Amino acid sequence: MRTLIQNGTIVDPANGIEARRELLIADGKVVEVLPQGQQPDADRVIDATGLLVCPGFIDVHVGVREPGFDEDETIASATAAALAGGFTSIAALPDTNPVVDNRGSAEFVKRQAERANNCRVFPLGAVTKGTRGEELAEIGQLVEADAVAFTDAKSPIANAEVMRRALEYTGMFDRPILHHSMVPELSDTGVMHEGFQSTRLGLRGIPAAANDIMTGRDIALAELTGGRVHIMCVNTQETVERIRLAQGRTVAVSADVTPHHLLLTDEVMDSFDTLFKCNPPLRSQEHIDALIEGLKDGTIAVISSDHQPLAIEKKDVDLDSAPFGICGLETTLALCVKALIQPAHLSWSQLVACLTTGPAALLGIPHGTLSPDVAADVTLVDPIEEWTIDAASFRSRSRNTPFNGWKVTGRVVTTIVNGEVRHSTRA
Amino acid sequence: MTETMDDISITAPWQERHLLGLEHLSAEEIATILDLADQFQTLTEGGSKKLTVLNGTVVANLFFENSTRTKTSFNIAARRLGADTVDFSASGSSLSKGETFVDTALTIEAMGVDLVVCRHRTPGAPHLLARHLKAGVINAGDGTHEHPTQALLDMLTIRQKLGRIEGLTVALVGDIRHSRVARSNIHGLLKLGARVIVCGPATLVPRTITQLGVEVAYNLDEILPQVDCVNLLRVQFERQRGAFFPSIAEYAHLFGMNGDRIRKAKDGLLVLAPGPINRGVELTPEVADGPHSVILNQVSNGLLIRMACLYLLAKKAGK
């Protein structure tokens, strides 16, 4: 089966292409990117006039919530949501019940993903048993079960000795640790950024220092051990600066940022709306400005939705009782356009790189590019389509987005996995 | 005596469906509540203590946190206006069977409640109710956020005793970080033209509080000669995570109001305290029971303020 995607603008940062080209795929793989106007024989032609033809997007940490929390999400619904958001590969967080801290649990994730037959799912293994931060999980066996990286999800590994050993041990397999870098003693019971707004509202704050201190520690341990540490959901000015300096010393530290941390400040909390409650918290404008600078200079090379689906009854409570998290897979691209493309902070190539080559390099997976012979995972984007975010139409089982009703620009119209169209907004 | 609507005049138009805090009220709206409270004092002095203006109105007290004083005060206030009251407390309720806070409120509203008085441990909980209910919602204290009726009764007490609020210097002393009374007082006093100084241990005074327009002091003895009123906040042991000061003795030594400090202060100093007070911590018995203390006036004024708030919201709801 040969498919020609024609008349589109190919955006393939891995190969430095952002130009009108034709893309030929066959038997689930990319054949080649052809000069504009060439029309090789094809069984099927997809007209991409006015569209961007990108490598399939990759999300490096997604809450799939199965097993254990099926009321929030399942692997089937998470992967359907991923396709709608243009993601052809996702890495599944291990904070399920049971935790993915052993081979059997990782195999289950893979099996459910095969059954769903939506997008690719790569298991993330827990760093420690039960994500309790005490004893190392069976990392070697998780690697054999195709865990691409390790993380304790939203549980910080507070004990520096445990983190040190984890970095040494995962280093044997050249796998990174994705860390929620937060000092628990400083963040305990906090629900928002600590600053003037938290003082005004009487809500417990989480100081930026809680992230800054732990990130500093993680960088020092990466330097000590030679292990790879990736800071999830970077959200403070100082953290960006510390990562930038460490990268300058060639420490193996990387970072990602979420769209919501780029678009929302802590001022939104005066609605007391639990939909804004996320971890790490939404911070103030100077932190957002630093995050954008970090994206512009490449300090932050990955954008993640940090998809945290939660059933409506869990969020429909008071702020202290509500769990943290925002449902993000289906809104990521449009929110990135709003935060980064429309204000001209990033080019389309730079944005697509944060959704493709950056994540692929972090996870060490052979995706995120349109090079010949790689799997034909392709996302077609209409960069100027205007639409309104409607949580009720999410493929995800959950609706916990603070962006419901936002008018946005830029939409994923078609998602292709292994050469097959798995999602399309067009008949 | 039978009062009529004609006996009660409202000094400025009242548009609020809910009373969730003082931050978003105007100076005129705050003055309206204080003026109305003064009227209720006149109406209930000497004659019958029971009015009939809210006959047929049902007020529900939803208290999800322990309270005796505030709950009793709201109950008496509602009954003095002729309203019926229903009490709901979280312990032993359907909440313990898994029902959510909002579901409980909706259930109670479905029974025909017009006004809901809500106390909750979490900031914003009354705002959540206000989004879900048709009934008017009064915030009777939401965690460490606001406690509007307490600040209003403090202001009424100051205005009655000193004749004004504008131009006065008021010190709020103690646990500012965890105090909803402090936040409501700051908003209300500043809107009415007072100068506000917050004073306490640095661990209990957030640095960013100055952005609200207050001054910060860490030495009570230094500011006492400047202040007209001192409001001694209760140390919120139940809201603190860990120790914010070395010992009760040290707190009392540095920030407790005692006879020596009274002698350093202005002659006409007013000493206020939102109950319940910890005698020997925030203030000594000598001060609590002395001539500068207006603590019992505050309690009486609490009734008048709550009557005023219930009346305004009930009228807005068309009762």
Does A286 lie at the interface with B, CB-CB under 8 angstroms?
Answer: no
Residue B244's pLDDT is 86
pLDDT, chain B, mean? 90
Q: Mutation target for B interface from A203, A268, A318, A321: give the one with most B CBs within 10 A.
A: A318
The answer to whether A318 contacts B124, with C-beta atoms less than 8 Å apart, is yes
The answer to whether A196 contacts B208, with C-beta atoms less than 8 Å apart, is yes
Residues 284-313 of B with CB under 8 A from A: none
**What are the boundaries of each domain within chain A?**
2-53+375-424, 56-363
Q: Angle formed by the axes of helices A348-355 and A285-296, to 10°? A: 90
Examine domains B5-147+299-316 and B148-298 and report if their fold is the same.
Answer: yes
Residue B94 scores a pLDDT above 70: no
Q: Parallel, antiparallel, or unpaired: how do β-strands B136-142 and B115-120 relate? A: parallel
Contact yes or no for B11/B31 (Cβ under 8 A): yes
Looking at the DSSP bridge assignments, the partners of residue A3 are A25, A44
Residue A301's pLDDT is 98
- Chain A nearest-CA residue for B183: A200
Examine domains A2-53+375-424 and A56-363 and report if their fold is the same.
Answer: no
Q: How far apart are the C-alpha atoms of A394 and A84, rounded to whole Å?
A: 8
For residue A272, which residues of chain B lie inside 8 Å, CB to CB?
123-125, 127-128
Q: How far apart are the CA of B142 and the nearest CA of chain A, in angstroms? A: 9
For residue B180, which residues of chain A lie inside 8 Å, CB to CB?
202
The answer to whether A202 contacts B180, with C-beta atoms less than 8 Å apart, is yes
Residue B89 scores a pLDDT above 90: no
Residue B5 scores a pLDDT above 60: no
CATH 3.40.50.12500 holds for B148-298: no
Preceding omega of A359 cis (within 30 degrees of 0): no
| pLDDT, tens digit (0-9, with 9 covering 90-100), for B240-270 | 556 888 888 889 999 999 999 999 999 999 9
Q: How far apart are the C-alpha atoms of A34 and A39, rounded to whole Å?
A: 9
Q: How far apart are the C-alpha atoms of B195 and B168, rounded to whole Å?
A: 6
Residue A420's pLDDT is 97
Residue B1's pLDDT is 44
Catalytic choice (A101, A306, A377, A382):
A306
**What residues of chain A score a pLDDT lower than 50?**
none
Closest C-alpha among A322, A287, A330 to residue A305: A330
CATH of domain A2-53+375-424: 2.30.40.10
Residue B2 scores a pLDDT above 60: no
Residue A144's pLDDT is 97
Residue B91's pLDDT is 61
Residue A115's pLDDT is 98
Residue B96 scores a pLDDT above 70: no
Residue B240's pLDDT is 58
The answer to whether A202 contacts B125, with C-beta atoms less than 8 Å apart, is no
| pLDDT, tens digit (0-9, with 9 covering 90-100), for B136-182 | 999 999 999 999 999 999 999 999 999 999 999 999 999 999 999 99
Does B241 lie at the interface with A, CB-CB under 8 angstroms?
Answer: yes
pLDDT greater at residue A55 or residue B95:
A55
Preceding omega of A98 cis (within 30 degrees of 0): yes
Residue A179's pLDDT is 98
Residue B95's pLDDT is 56
Type of residue found at B262: I
Mean pLDDT across the stretch B297-301? 94
- CA B34 vs CA B38, B41, B151, B155, B171: distances in Å: 6, 11, 11, 8, 21
Residue A363's pLDDT is 98
Selecting from A200, A203, A271 the residue whose C-beta is nearest the C-beta of B212 gives A200
Alpha helices, DSSP H, located in B85-143: 101-109, 125-132
- Chain A nearest-CA residue for B211: A196
Does B101 lie at the interface with A, CB-CB under 8 angstroms?
Answer: yes
- Tell me which DSSP letter residue A133 carries: S
For residue A320, which residues of chain B lie inside 8 Å, CB to CB?
121-122, 143
Q: How far apart are the C-alpha atoms of A388 and A398, rounded to whole Å?
A: 18
For residue A204, which residues of chain B lie inside 8 Å, CB to CB?
144
Strands (E), A94-145: 120-125
Q: How far apart are the C-alpha atoms of A145 and B254, rounded to whole Å?
A: 62
Q: Is A212 annotated as a binding residue?
A: no
pLDDT greater at residue B89 or residue A387:
A387
Residue A427's pLDDT is 65
The arrangement of secondary structure in B5-147+299-316, i.e. its CATH architecture, is 3-Layer(aba) Sandwich (3.40)
The answer to whether B101 contacts A318, with C-beta atoms less than 8 Å apart, is yes
Residue B105's pLDDT is 81
The arrangement of secondary structure in A56-363, i.e. its CATH architecture, is Alpha-Beta Barrel (3.20)
**What are the boundaries of each domain within chain B?**
5-147+299-316, 148-298
**A306 catalytic per annotation:** yes
Q: How far apart are the CA of B141 and the nearest CA of chain A, in angstroms? A: 11
Selecting from B122, B144, B241 the residue whose C-beta is nearest the C-beta of A188 gives B241
Selecting from B122, B144, B211 the residue whose C-beta is nearest the C-beta of A321 gives B122
Residues 350-409 of A with CB under 8 A from B: none
